[in-house]
Each structure stands twice: as C-alpha cells, then as structure tokens.
Amino acid sequence: MTAPLLTVEGLTADRGGRRILDDVSFSAARAGEILGVIGPNGAGKTTLFECVAGLQPVTRGTVAGVARFYMPDAVRPWPDQTVAWTLRLMAKVSGATMEWLPELDLERVARQRVSSLSKGETKRLNVALALLAPQPVLMLDEPFDGLDVRQTRKVMALLRRVQRTLIVSIHQLTDAAKICDRVLLLNEGRVVAAGTPGELGDLEELFLART
C-alpha cells in the first residue's frame, strides 16, 4: 500500500486567543481524488487550507506529504494586469501547458484586466491559476461560488478530468455530493464527520444535525 500523498495529523491553530482548528486529521490518498471540506461559516475551512499550505502558523500538529498549492477564495491577483498575462505568468512558474483552458471560457476575456472581470470570470481565472500550479495537491477555496449552473458543471467536469489530487471547500452540499470522493464536515474547528458521500448519506441532513 502506498503512502498517502498528504497526511494532516492533529492540526491545531489559534488566533488571538481563540482556537480556530482543533486536532484536525485527514489524508488525501491518491492522484485524482477529490476531498471536499464542508462546514458552516467560520468553521475553520480557510484556516485549515492556509495552515496546510504553510500560509498561517500552526499551534500543534503535522502536515506531511507532497507539495500543495492553495488558491484562496475572493482574490483578484494582479488586478492591473490582463488575464492572458496572469495565465502566462503562472504557466512560466510551472512550465505547464493549458490545453484545458478553452473549457474555462477565458479566451473571451484574455485581453481584459483582472480588475474588470465579473465574480464568475474571476473564479474561473483562479481555477485556471490553481490548475497551472506545479504542486501535485491543489486546495481550492469555494471554486464554484459565483458560477452559474452551466459554468459549475463545466468546472466540475474539468476538475474531474485533470486527475490532480484536489481538496475543495464547498458550500453547496449538492455540488459536494456530486464531485467529491470523500467529504469532511468541519464544525468549530473540529472534524465532526468524514467519509464518502455514500457513507455519509444526505449531506444537508448531516450538516444540520452536526453543526
């Protein structure tokens, strides 16, 4: 049995005297696996991602495994540059190709400045930037937030097809049930449920019962 690509054990993080993450453990086992992190607002999803990516200090616990990349939610990186410039920059970092780019419908806005993009366009750009990252494990914060149904389906299909190990935080539980191989339910910084969508049953009911 091969070692998991990413193992998080006993991750605990405090901010301003408040415990944000409390003894969180999970692993991402194989390439192509999509692990969903769900939970109410303030549950600690973003803090979890930032701690795993090394962008926030950890009070206790370990993160081991391959390199990982985190794409934050609601960022507009380099707003004064064009979409094409931003994508080229990221491609230069990883040396990756962008054959999947047409699926994100970004050609139309390629010459536009990032600051002028709509929320959905920015979200698709951020997904593209994440997919261009060289790290084997990608963590996406709310990748479907702000996308219409058609775009959500397109992005979901693309994320499935690229065969990267993905950890995604999702608010839409129906989306989580559709795309995720496994789901972690986080509440007040603790993992309160974990398993495949089949094992966990109705995610909405689970969410309401455990949070």
Could you list the residues that contact other proteins (CB under 8 A)? 50, 53-58, 69-72, 74-81, 85, 89, 92-93, 129, 133-135
Q: Which is nearer to other proteins, 73 or 103 (by Cβ)?
A: 73
Q: Which is nearer to other proteins, 85 or 100 (by Cβ)?
A: 85
Q: Which of 3, 49, 45 is nearest to 28 (CA)?
A: 3
Least CB distance to other proteins at residue 94 (A): 9
Q: Which is nearer to other proteins, 109 or 193 (by Cβ)?
A: 109
Strand duo 137-141 + 165-169: pairing? parallel
Least CB distance to other proteins at residue 21 (A): 14
Q: Which is nearer to other proteins, 88 or 190 (by Cβ)?
A: 88
Least CB distance to other proteins at residue 33 (A): 20
Q: Which is nearer to other proteins, 114 or 170 (by Cβ)?
A: 114
Least CB distance to other proteins at residue 116 (A): 12
Contact in structure between 27 and 4 (CB atoms under 8 Å): yes
Least CB distance to other proteins at residue 69 (A): 5
Cα 140–15–17 angle (5° rounding)? Answer: 155
Neighbours of 93 (CB within 10 A): 12
Q: Which is nearer to other proteins, 42 or 134 (by Cβ)?
A: 134
Least CB distance to other proteins at residue 114 (A): 9
Neighbours of 209 (CB within 10 A): 11
Cα 188–38–145 angle (5° rounding)? Answer: 120
The one-letter amino acid code at 71 reads M
Contact in structure between 126 and 71 (CB atoms under 8 Å): yes
Contact in structure between 58 and 8 (CB atoms under 8 Å): no
Instruction: Give the CA distances from residue 83 to residues 11, 86, 154, 194, in Å, rounded to whole numbers and listed in that order.
Output: 36, 5, 19, 37
- The values of phi and psi at residue 13, to 5°, are -140, 135
